[in-house]
Amino acid sequence: MNAPASIFNGDEAELVSTRFTVPGMRCAGCIGKIERELPKTPGIIAARANFSAKRVAIRHDPAIDEDRLTQALRDLGFEAQRLADNPLGVETEERKSLMRALGVAGFGMMNVMLLSVSIWSGADGPTRDLFHWLSALIAMPVIAYSGRPFFASAWMALSHRRTNMDVPISIGVILATALSLYETITGGGHAYFESAVMLLFFLLAGRALDAEMRTRTRAGIGALLGRMGKSASVISPDGSTRRVAAADLEPGMLVLVAAGEAMAADGEVTEGTSAIDNAMLTGESAPEPVGPGAVVHAGAINLSAPLRIRLTRVAEDTALAEIARLMDEAGQSRSHYVRIADRASRLYAPVVHSLALLAFVGWMIAGAGWHQSLTIAIAVLIITCPCAMGLAVPAAQVVASGALLKRGLLVKDGSALERLAECDIALLDKTGTLTLGEPRADIAALDAETRTVALGLAQASRHPLSRGLAAALLREGVEPAVIDNVRETSGTGLTGQWHGQEVALERPEDTAQSLAACLRIGESTQTITFADPLRGDAAATIAALQAEGVGASILSGDRAAPVEAVARALGLEATAEASPQAKLAALEALKAQGRRPLMVGDGLNDGPALAAAHASIAPGTASDASQQAADAVFIGEKLMPVALAIRVARRTMRIVRENFGFSIAYNMLAVPLALFGLVTPLIAAIAMSVSSLVVVANSLRLARSAKTSARE
């Protein structure tokens, strides 16, 4: 093991690392296969898989380019996509700093508690003073470090003349620390260091859970993204090609788009004939033939043959960017949404602060002296500090999103769950949402021999019909026949030799039927028809939505006839031929009526509507932009996660309200004690931990309830 490592040591500095996202990594076998087999490719030194994020980092010779690495992964059976150079977003950094703060607070809490328990058990005199001083020495730096997320957020809110949950927290912690320090210096009896540190620990646990939920689901969604063209091969006047990033492309450039590549800008075909897949833009599943003079848009995928394209509109001017702008504007309204925790704190904070003030004034009037009055006022602040409240929301939402994740639904954040629970009407796109969005072949008429030939041919192409046929045959357990000389002619189909006979998979003569292919073996021909079937549980999902009181209707950009057929099959109202602007207008109209629409869609034309809806869900096969605009993404062929999302979101909100009820009840018991000056640090510590534990335990019930609702 040591010997080969030392040989490579000399070259170590010259190696480079490239990261890929590999969504198909699903089991331990996949990790083993990637890490063991990839280094066998010449030039690849090592591969390391990150299973949670579905990423693979490859250390390799710089001479090997991205395409060869992607090919090496594809040879192992994994679709891969290169990650941008700066994949560690702000999110991960935020989560890590929260975890560090949590670790420090945990350390401080344990040690200060150790000293406090001794004081509560009767240590007094110089021992008590010594322990108070030690507690202060540990607690002050811990509070300064771990409290930063709250102090920063509270300061931000105050400087904008607003208030949030962090304002009462920060005031409580700072006053408790200051009072305890005063008590310590003057040799007083009660110091609240452990309460202050414990409060921070529990609240940080809530924050860390919240951040964990967001990074976990974003990693899942991130693994699905990245199919959009990010660079293009520009042809120089001397005929050589070079890769240029999408942002640096200019109108007038001539680019070469290989088969299987996504367009990075809008342009006009100058040379070559091929078919393009516009599903990202229009949601239309049938491929579109293109030839010289045809206009193609960024986001379209070239399917069969290389094309030379003269760019017309790049970067910010593409049709894609236009839709992205619409989405941005539509998404503005959502940022005004106030989360339940902040709504609660708007009611809660004034009550807490006036209670503390009342206690101070009351005891002053009663003639208690300012020191005792202040001590009591601060005890009120500490006992009412929303410790369990800080956990009430994230604990429930983390459990719910974990349960939904297991059922194939990735919810982006807590705010999304809150908005999903409030939806009262659903609008569904047709292609790719109610239907699978990919052509499925009808192979019932084929016999065993033709099946093997069809698979042998279909496997050779990236055309959606070929892929749909191959997928259908592979599901039936068909073994591919070995076909020689397979050639793909753009616009016509595939030809090859099998047992000396000519075989072909072609476009049928009758071009009116666009979703069909003709299989020819020697002289005999057979037509294979394709359909874009409804998702198996579409009707059941609509029924489940209606059971929750959410009425559904179809809002599609597709032609009227197919939309009508689906609407009749499901018994829904439908609007067809809606442009992105029309979809947006339909949603705005609903919102103006006071409804809270849920939008479910996949195409880029749904993007603005997804961003404008009260809440939105996109399938995992949706365009990147749509997945980014949506609040949740569901994976797989089932539509049921959509109904499940609503049901679980509503249960989550019920649990959240219960949690609020519990923590307020605890505080109500403790506040009279505090007001009469009976709260010792011991009582404060017990009230705080018991209420937090009750809230967490109550939230854990959600893990079961999501499971049972899936079984129904």
Partner 1 sequence: MTGLVFLIPIALGMGLLGLGAFLWSMRDGQYDDMDGAAARILIEEDEPLEDDA
Q: Which residues bind partner 1 (CB under 8 A)?
A: 27-29, 31-32, 36, 49-53, 96, 99-100, 103-104, 106-107, 110-111, 114, 127, 130, 134, 138
Instruction: Name the one residue in this structure whose structure tokens are 């070929």.
Output: 466
CB of 18 to partner 1, least distance (A): 18
53 vs 646, which CB is nearer to partner 1? Answer: 53
CB of 45 to partner 1, least distance (A): 17
Helix axes 193-224, 166-186, angle to 10 degrees: 150
CB of 49 to partner 1, least distance (A): 7
50 vs 709, which CB is nearer to partner 1? Answer: 50
29 vs 239, which CB is nearer to partner 1? Answer: 29
Give the contacts of 538 (CB within 8 A, at least 6 positions apart).
Answer: 434, 570, 639
CB of 32 to partner 1, least distance (A): 4
CB of 103 to partner 1, least distance (A): 5
Is 429 a residue of the active site? yes
Whether the CB-CB separation of 522 and 514 falls below 8 Å is answered with: no
Count of C-beta atoms within a 10 Å radius of residue 182: 14
107 vs 120, which CB is nearer to partner 1? Answer: 107
CA-wise closest residue to 345 among 353, 337, 356:
353
Q: What is the dihedral of CA 107, 110, 115, 120, to 10 degrees?
A: 150
83 vs 263, which CB is nearer to partner 1? Answer: 83
96 vs 308, which CB is nearer to partner 1? Answer: 96
Q: Judging by DSSP bridges, how do beta strands 288-290 and 274-277 pair with one another?
A: antiparallel
Q: How many helices (H) and strands (E) does the chain have?
A: 23, 26
**Which residues are 307's β-sheet partners?**
257
How far apart are alpha carbons 454 and 519 in whole angstroms? 7
CA 455 to chain centre: 35
CA-wise closest residue to 192 among 692, 688, 707:
688
CB of 37 to partner 1, least distance (A): 11
**Which residues are 461's β-sheet partners?**
none
47 vs 269, which CB is nearer to partner 1? Answer: 47
DSSP secondary structure letter of residue 646:
H
Q: Could you give phi then psi for residue 681, rounded to 5 degrees? A: -55, -30
Choosing from 166, 266, 429, 606, the catalytic residue is 429
How far apart are alpha carbons 299 and 604 in whole angstroms? 9
220 vs 437, which CB is nearer to partner 1? Answer: 220
CB of 652 to partner 1, least distance (A): 23
Length of the chain: 712
CB of 51 to partner 1, least distance (A): 3
CA-wise closest residue to 330 among 557, 584, 578:
584
Provide the H-helix boundaries in 268-386.
279-282, 319-331, 340-365, 370-384
Record the tokens describing residue 122, joined without a space: 């009767």
**Which residues are 501's β-sheet partners?**
498
CB of 50 to partner 1, least distance (A): 5
Give the contacts of 417 (CB within 8 A, at least 6 positions apart).
Answer: 397, 400, 401, 411, 649, 652, 653
CA-wise closest residue to 205 among 344, 350, 102:
102
How far apart are alpha carbons 195 and 678 in whole angstroms? 16
4 vs 10, which CB is nearer to partner 1? Answer: 4
Q: What is the gyration radius of the CA atoms in the chain, in angstroms? A: 31
So which residues are the catalytic ones?
429
